[in-house]
Amino acid sequence: MASEGEALTSTGYIQHHLQNMVYGKLPAGYVRHNADGTHTTLEADTWTLAHTYQEAKDMGFMALHLDTLGWGLFLGLVFSFIFHRVAKRAKAGKPTGLQSFVELVVEFIDNTVKDIFHHKNKLIAPMALTIFCWVFLMNLMDLIPVDWLPWAAQKISGDSHLFFKVVPTTDPNATLGMAITVFILMIFFNIKEKGLWGFTKELTCHPFFAPKKLWYLNILLIPVNTVLETVALIAKPISLGLRLFGNMYAGEMIFILIALLFSAGIVLGVVGGVLQWGWAVFHILVITLQAFIFMVLTTVYMAMAHDTHDDDH
């Protein structure tokens, strides 16, 4: 029974760290289960924070993940403030300190974009820089010990059961939200550069296209091309968002599992400390690589949206 209770406690610990701070609406008549074992029945539709995993689920699609939104906005402002401050104070000559680092990042992103994107669009390079730095900062939150900020949030709020996730990219709502934004830009630039007819032709006349003397076969190929191209188009944002989410979620899970060792005695606690340090060092590469991949793929998709396909068949 002891081992069973321990397993339940470990499961609860993991679930608590993987649950977002959800703010949503519970319908009238909903029965809420309080921490002291009592029950409360809502008399009217109520917008509130979820107290349990089930309440978060019952709030449905329109619920907000306040921790994801809060940390995402905060880290975006941090990035904007630092780069704006450096740009405002930049001086000619040999840069030093923070200015040197910022210029190194800007030059690296600019060169990467130039190697991938061979069209004229002043939006792409700044967008790539924003994506890389913003995603990197959100990923970087994964290196903060998993209990520190949730514990601080519980103490400040006075709620010992408060859900509080600090890594926005471990929330698929954040990663898929960014991916959908990229998808909208893809559609926009496709239509802008190729026109609505050109974009439609691209979806219906590729990848299979019959020679001109067999033009009538293209009519039969339109449904096949449309299905293949539509699936490929939709798969881009889905894979873009899920790739980032999957890698960061797995990394967060490993940190949580290592943290469980600290409650299993001195020996396992020492082992956990070594493992946590080793995984953190390796994870520095992961968080940087994932930010870079998201930025590169976004740039590639923008380049594809600007490419035109002139058929010489």
Please indicate, yes or no, whether residues 51 and 18 belong to a single structural domain of this protein.
Answer: yes
Please indicate, yes or no, whether residues 45 and 104 belong to a single structural domain of this protein.
Answer: no
Q: Which of 7-16, 132-141, 197-206 has the highest mean pLDDT?
A: 132-141
Please indicate, yes or no, whether residues 216 and 104 belong to a single structural domain of this protein.
Answer: yes
User: Could you tell me if residue 277 is inside a domain?
Assistant: no
Range with the lowest mean pLDDT among 68-72, 146-150, 219-223, 299-303?
219-223
Q: Which of 77-81, 93-97, 275-279 has the highest mean pLDDT?
A: 77-81
Q: Determine the residue type at 47.
A: W
User: Could you tell me if residue 267 is inside a domain?
Assistant: no
Please indicate, yes or no, whether residues 170 and 210 belong to a single structural domain of this protein.
Answer: yes
Average the pLDDT over 24-38 and give the result.
88
Q: pLDDT grade, residue 310 (50/70/90)?
A: low
Please indicate, yes or no, whether residues 228 and 195 belong to a single structural domain of this protein.
Answer: yes
Average the pLDDT over 292-303 and give the result.
97
Please indicate, yes or no, whether residues 50 and 25 belong to a single structural domain of this protein.
Answer: yes
Please indicate, yes or no, whether residues 79 and 222 belong to a single structural domain of this protein.
Answer: yes
| Residue 229: predicted pLDDT | 92
User: Could you tell me if residue 276 is inside a domain?
Assistant: no
Please indicate, yes or no, whether residues 49 and 98 belong to a single structural domain of this protein.
Answer: no
Last residue of a domain, one of 44, 62, 80: 62
Last residue of a domain, one of 62, 83, 112: 62
Token pair 């900020």 is found at 149
Catalogue the active-site residues: 239, 243, 247
Please indicate, yes or no, whether residues 113 and 215 belong to a single structural domain of this protein.
Answer: yes
User: Could you tell me if residue 272 is inside a domain?
Assistant: no
pTM: 0.90
Please indicate, yes or no, whether residues 131 and 9 belong to a single structural domain of this protein.
Answer: no
Count of Cβ atoms closer than 10 Å to residue 299 Cβ: 24
User: Could you tell me if residue 94 is inside a domain?
Assistant: yes
Q: Report the alpha-carbon distance of residue 168 to residue 55 in Å, rounded.
A: 21
Range with the lowest mean pLDDT among 85-94, 184-193, 231-240?
85-94
User: Could you tell me if residue 270 is inside a domain?
Assistant: no
Please indicate, yes or no, whether residues 88 and 216 belong to a single structural domain of this protein.
Answer: yes
Please indicate, yes or no, whether residues 181 and 218 belong to a single structural domain of this protein.
Answer: yes
Last residue of a domain, one of 21, 40, 62: 62
Count of structural domains, the chain: 2
User: Could you tell me if residue 269 is inside a domain?
Assistant: no
Domain that holds residue 50: 1-62
Q: What is the DSSP string of the chain?
A: -HHHHHHHHHHHHHHHHH---EEEEE-TTPEEE-TTS-EEE-SS-EEEE-SSHHHHHHT-TT-EEHHHHHHHHHHHHHHHHHHHHHHHH--SSS--HHHHHHHHHHHHHHHHHHHH--S--TTHHHHHHHHHHHHHHHHHGGGS-TTHHHHHHHHHHT-TT------GGGSHHHHHHHHHHHHHHHHHHHHHHHHHHHHHHHHHS-S----GGGTTHHHHHHHHHHHHHHHHHHHHHHHHHHHHHHHHHHHHHHHHHHHHGGGS-HHHHHHHHHHHHHHHHHHHHHHHHHHHHHHHHHHHHHHHHH-------
| Residue 289 in tokens | 């690589």
User: Could you tell me if residue 190 is inside a domain?
Assistant: yes
